[in-house]
Structure 1
């Protein structure tokens, strides 16, 4: 009898089997930016069957998602604060424009206002 020569890495590999349909799970990759370059990153295991939608996510991926939960909230607060500041500035500019238009219609001199910032 002739033994088949195994490929490298196949000797001790234990394939993961889908608990729902019994097929071998395949490795799932997602496309992410790593150091400014797009790369395929391992993200878990999926069932190749078209009827079964079984997915196992890698534990590292689950930890990363938990950490990312606070970052968008902080960014949102900063963006809201920036928005409020720019909105106030736009309102001030709109008031000045209205003053200029009123003065121009009445034929008066245009009042120039220079606001000094206190620091």
Structure 2
């Protein structure tokens, strides 16, 4: 199980990655995080983060009709969001490599 503190540092990048794959809404993001093995991330965590991403111009939001209830706010990446995601990916590889070396998962060259 991934602890909340560990997840906090990478959650924004994970959400950007999910939105990059397809335009989506908050509850669906929560479901996808769980499907990928990141545990149950509450909507109370996701929605404030989505608002911050929107405020920082990393995502755009639009209301769309839903077949099961009220309209939903769908999110998609902006150009700035795509740049931020690419930076996250680079940083993630560096962090992943360093921690694996430390834990003995990757042999030093």
Verify same fold: TM over 0.5.
no
* Higher alpha-carbon Rg: 1
* Structure with the larger RCO, 1 or 2 (CA within 8 Å, 6+ apart): 2
TM-score norm. by structure 2 comes to 0.29
Choose between structure 1 and 2: higher helix proportion: 2
TM (norm. structure 1) is 0.28
